[in-house]
Amino acid sequence: MNNENKVIIIGAGASGLFCAIQAALRGYEVLVLEHFKTAGTKIVISGGGRCNFTNLYAEPKNFISNNPHFCISALKRFTPQDFLESLSIHSVEWFEKKLGQLFCEKSSREILNFLLLECRDLNVQIKTNVSISELSKSADTFSLNTSSGQFETTKLVIATGGKSLPKSGASDFAYTTAKSFKIKTIETHAGLVPFISRDDETLFTKDLAGLSFMAMVSINKVSFHEAVLITHKGLSGPAILQISSFWNKGEAISINFIPDTLIIQKWKDLLKNNSKKNFKSILSQTLPTRLAERICDIKGWKQSMNSMNENELNTIIAELQEWKMIPNKTEGYRTAEVTRGGIDTNEISSKTFEAKKVPGLYFIGECLDVTGWLGGYNFQWAWASAYACGQNI
């Protein structure tokens, strides 16, 4: 079969395998090259082994990008419902955990098996443990020198993901390839990642590790109301992972310990009724006791309610609603779930995912400057971008 009818995809992750299926359905001979020892490693370890494979409510507003309009077209053309239809053919059972987050009922391997079975049935060839030493283009043909020999194609798809979770096979291959073809990239950072506290942090210290609480965590005009977990190094939990994708070094995050207005009203009623209860014990009814005690010790809040006036209580409430923390840094790509930033989407067609400067070269998935929130959004971007590319390659 000639090169005109051949597609080579570099990367056997979610976007690469799904794109291979779409291209094969259109009659292309597809070869997938993967530098890691196995295909779909990140799929298998995701979601605690159950793979949060999409979100029912995925919309463009759930994605971060310097070009926020770029993702609209692909997300409209391939929705979470479309992916569920694909899964139904293979009888993959799933459940909704919360907020539209869909997980496999049994194991994340069901998602990988679905992709691999589809590839097998469509005669997609997958080669793992293949390193690429050189990638070049002459006229309209791409040439790849690899540890498994030389390959050529006129249609090359880069689906190697970002830098997050290097133990699962992540690399910067997509970015170095883009730069070699003079395609612009946006500076990358670890996203959906825990924070490490500064040495002078007095509240979130390792002796409180393991405590969790609900809070509203904010930076600039972005807020998430979810669980926060104190770790031996700093802070984690869904709210922290979410806000980390919006954080830049040196910025303070704001933590609202009492976003529930009913709690505030209860405190004001206690004040009005001249309650003899100690404020520390009252705060312990809302937050873990050791955390409440630490906060009160730091701020010197030792008084009982009947010794306070309304202004004093309002001051305490204001401080608890805007507790500032400046993280030292994040845990980095080692534990990050995604990579923020990446290939500048102004360089890529939002319809076909082809590089505007390099005909025949396509980029899909996490390597692009499109980062989803926590909760299945990044997998939906993998499916949607792969579908759009595979349908238009």
For residue 123, the tally of other CB atoms under 10 A from its CB is 9
pLDDT digit string, tens, across residues 218-230: 999 999 999 999 9
Specify if 42 maps to a domain.
yes
Quote helix, strand, coil % in the chain, to nearest 5: 35, 25, 40
For residue 117, the tally of other CB atoms under 10 A from its CB is 13
* Alpha-carbon span 197 to 136, nearest angstrom: 44
* Alpha-carbon span 379 to 115, nearest angstrom: 13
Q: Check residue 373 and report its DSSP letter.
A: P
Q: Of 355, 58, 3, 370, nearest to 191 (Cα)?
A: 370
* Alpha-carbon span 336 to 241, nearest angstrom: 9
CATH number of the domain residue 90 falls in: 3.50.50.60
Specify if 239 maps to a domain.
no
Specify if 289 maps to a domain.
no
Specify if 41 maps to a domain.
yes
281: which residues sit within 8 A by CB, 6+ positions away? none
Specify if 236 maps to a domain.
no
* Alpha-carbon span 52 to 336, nearest angstrom: 16
Q: Average per-residue pLDDT in the chain?
A: 96
pLDDT digit string, tens, across residues 77-89: 999 999 999 999 8
Tally of structural domains, the chain: 1
pLDDT score, position 2: 63
Q: Which domain holds residue 380?
A: 3-189+340-392
pLDDT digit string, tens, across residues 180-209: 999 999 999 999 999 999 999 999 999 999
Cβ–Cβ < 8 Å for 203, 371: no
Cβ–Cβ < 8 Å for 26, 390: yes
b/e for 132-156, b at 16 or more Cβ within 10 A? beebebeeeebebebeeeebebbbb
Confidence grade of residue 4 (pLDDT, cut at 50, 70, 90): confident
pLDDT score, position 1: 45
Residue 32 pairs in a beta bridge with 9, 126
* Alpha-carbon span 363 to 174, nearest angstrom: 8
Specify if 388 maps to a domain.
yes
